[in-house]
Amino acid sequence: MNTTRGKSELSSRQNLTQGKRWVVKVGSALVTNDGQGLDSTRIEDWINQLASLRQQGIDIVVVSSGAVAEGMQRLGWQQRPSALFELQAAAAVGQSGVSEIYERGFQRHGLHAAQILLTHDDLSDRKRYLNARSTLKALLDLGVVPVVNENDTVVTEEIRFGDNDSLAGMVVNLIDADALLILTDQLGLCTADPRTHEGAKLVEEIAADDPFLDAIVKPGAGALGRGGMVTKLRGARLAARSGAMTVIANGRENDVISRVFAGESIGTLLLPGEEPVAAKKRWLAGHLQLKGKLVLDNGAVKVLRERGSSLLAVGVIGVEGDFVRGDAVECVDASGQQVALGLVNYRADETQQIKGVASDKISQALGYVDEPELIHRDNLVLT
């Protein structure tokens, strides 16, 4: 018997069908058929479903485990090593296999896959965060399907995500995805571990921050992965920070991806506590240290407030502070009244050179163009 908690006007599965940008995460146990090398049949089935969605105009980013497990299989290792250098070696051996199977599968549909390897350091550094964001968005604009994995070949204990569920949640934030689908070898989140409790019930729908989840989700991972339901909940809560919904579902269900996208009640739906705009505003307002100030002319202030547009250099009349690409800056009007907060695309000295300059003239002023916008609207929130 299934159970539903925390229902609200935001809880309809039909809301999922409105999402135009999704992150889909698949774990090691599924990708490698419980460690017996990459499960090409299952992966190709997922690719067929993802390709169909991509061809309908839906942006897809895949977060795929499997490099370490595939490397273990190729090297003949029966148990996941604990030594970091051995994990790195296994990842180096296995990553090419993971990349190849996705590229080959998407090519059959006239699509390309792109391998993206990230570490926590890449997303905690603001400049590298923006670089990763720009690359992923460029790939999506080109119709490419990015396949993201943790860069196990260079990662250290201090900077590792620790699991691809958390990485997937951070990728949702990175690209402003509408939803996250986590495919696992379980039905979803249950009131108890169904492997050991016969009466465990599936939680169909619940707020991601509901304390009830902390009481029922216990640590534990399989032999191949680093996570378990604890990390899946963590990934869902990371996604919820930017207003995204998460579905945790059994990846072995027939046509599971297509059915979830169609709004069918499969697995557990975890709901964000806030709409995306409110969530991002709270993140920008509460978690960034301001490194500078941009003074805007009246035209720029009007465009930002009335149209929600990006901030262009042509609308800036003053620059204060010593900031670099990716730093948070305050945008004020001529009287000093705060208008917005955002992540800037140029250094302070570069901004000084291009203030008041039209976007198509930036290359003449600087000799190059990083971005046509000084602050992209996705990284700017009105206050």
Residue 2 is assigned to a structural domain of this protein? no
Pair 236, 307 in one domain: no
Pair 99, 185 in one domain: yes
Distance, CA of 46 to CA of 42 (rounded, Å) = 6
pLDDT-based confidence at residue 156 (cuts at 50, 70, 90): low
Q: How many CB atoms lie within 10 A of CB 372?
A: 14
pLDDT at 299: 95
pLDDT at 7: 46
Residue 167 is assigned to a structural domain of this protein? yes
Closest alpha carbon to 29 in 283, 176, 167, 227: 227
| Cα angle 259, 137, 13; round to 5 | 25
Q: Report residue 26 as tokens.
A: 């698949």
- Residue type for 138, please? A
Residue 347 confidence (pLDDT) above 90:
yes
Q: What CATH number should be reported for the domain holding residue 378? A: 2.30.130.10
Tens digits of per-residue pLDDT, 210-249? 888 888 886 554 433 444 788 899 889 988 887 899 999 9
E strand or H helix at 328, and its extent?
A: strand 328-332
Pair 243, 309 in one domain: no
pLDDT at 143: 95
- Which residues have C-beta within 8 Å of that of residue 125, sequence separation ≥ 6? 326
Residue 3 confidence (pLDDT) above 70:
no
pTM comes to 0.73
Residues forming a β-bridge with 269: 205, 247
Pair 165, 187 in one domain: yes
Residue 244 is assigned to a structural domain of this protein? yes
Q: Which domain holds residue 338?
A: 288-382
Tens digits of per-residue pLDDT, 196-212? 777 788 999 999 988 88
Pair 181, 82 in one domain: yes
- Which residues have C-beta within 8 Å of that of residue 297, sequence separation ≥ 6? 315, 316, 317, 334
Q: What CATH number should be reported for the domain holding residue 225? A: 3.40.1160.10
Q: Rounded to whole angstroms, what are the CA distances from 70 to 137, 194, 277, 306, 346?
A: 28, 28, 40, 52, 41
Pair 214, 328 in one domain: no
Helix 67-75 vs helix 84-107: crossing angle, to nearest 10? 110
Pair 67, 117 in one domain: yes
User: In sequence order, which ranges of the chain are alpha helices (DSSP H)?
Assistant: 28-31, 40-54, 67-75, 84-107, 120-124, 126-141, 164-175, 211-216, 229-240, 256-261, 276-287, 298-307, 348-354, 362-366
Pair 265, 146 in one domain: yes
pLDDT, average across residues 276-286: 58
Which strands, in side-by-side order, build the sheet including 380-382?
Answer: 316-321, 290-296, 328-332, 338-343, 380-382
Percent of the chain with pLDDT over 70: 85
Which of 70-79, 90-99, 102-111, 268-277 has the lowest average pLDDT?
268-277
Residue 2 confidence (pLDDT) above 50:
no
pLDDT at 226: 42
Closest alpha carbon to 188 in 17, 16, 43, 2: 2
Q: Which DSSP string do the residues of 59-115 spell out, in sequence order? A: EEEEEE--HHHHHHHHHT-SS---SHHHHHHHHHHHHHHHHHHHHHHHHTTT--EEE
pLDDT at 278: 57
Residue 6 confidence (pLDDT) above 60:
no
Q: How many CB atoms lie within 10 A of CB 170?
A: 25
Residue 89 is assigned to a structural domain of this protein? yes
Residues forming a β-bridge with 64: 26
The DSSP secondary-structure symbol of 3 reads B
pLDDT at 4: 53
Residue 59 is assigned to a structural domain of this protein? yes
Pair 133, 244 in one domain: yes
Pair 297, 210 in one domain: no
Which strands, in side-by-side order, build the sheet including 179-184?
Answer: 113-118, 145-150, 59-64, 21-26, 179-184, 245-250, 268-271, 205-207
Residue 314 is assigned to a structural domain of this protein? yes
Residue 197 is assigned to a structural domain of this protein? yes
Beta strands 113-118 and 59-64 are unpaired
Residue 283 is assigned to a structural domain of this protein? no
Residue 34 confidence (pLDDT) above 70:
no
User: In the listed set 276, 296, 311, which residue is the last one of a domain according to the structure?
Assistant: 276
Distance, CA of 244 to CA of 260 (rounded, Å) = 15
pLDDT at 242: 79
Distance, CA of 85 to CA of 156 (rounded, Å) = 9
Tens digits of per-residue pLDDT, 298-346? 999 999 988 888 999 999 999 999 998 888 899 999 999 999 988 899 9
Which of 61-70, 216-225, 340-349, 364-373 has the lowest average pLDDT?
216-225
Q: Work out how many domains the chain is built from and give that number.
A: 2
Pair 247, 143 in one domain: yes
Pair 330, 364 in one domain: yes
pLDDT at 70: 85
pLDDT, average across residues 281-298: 76
The burial class, CB within 10 Å (0-12 / 13-18 / 19+), for 293 is: middle
Residue 66 confidence (pLDDT) above 90:
no
User: In the listed set 276, 300, 335, which residue is the last one of a domain according to the structure?
Assistant: 276
Q: Name the more confident of 302 and 283.
A: 302
pLDDT at 225: 40
pLDDT at 221: 43
Is residue 171 within 8 Å of residue 23, measured between CB atoms? yes
User: In the listed set 224, 244, 276, which residue is the last one of a domain according to the structure?
Assistant: 276
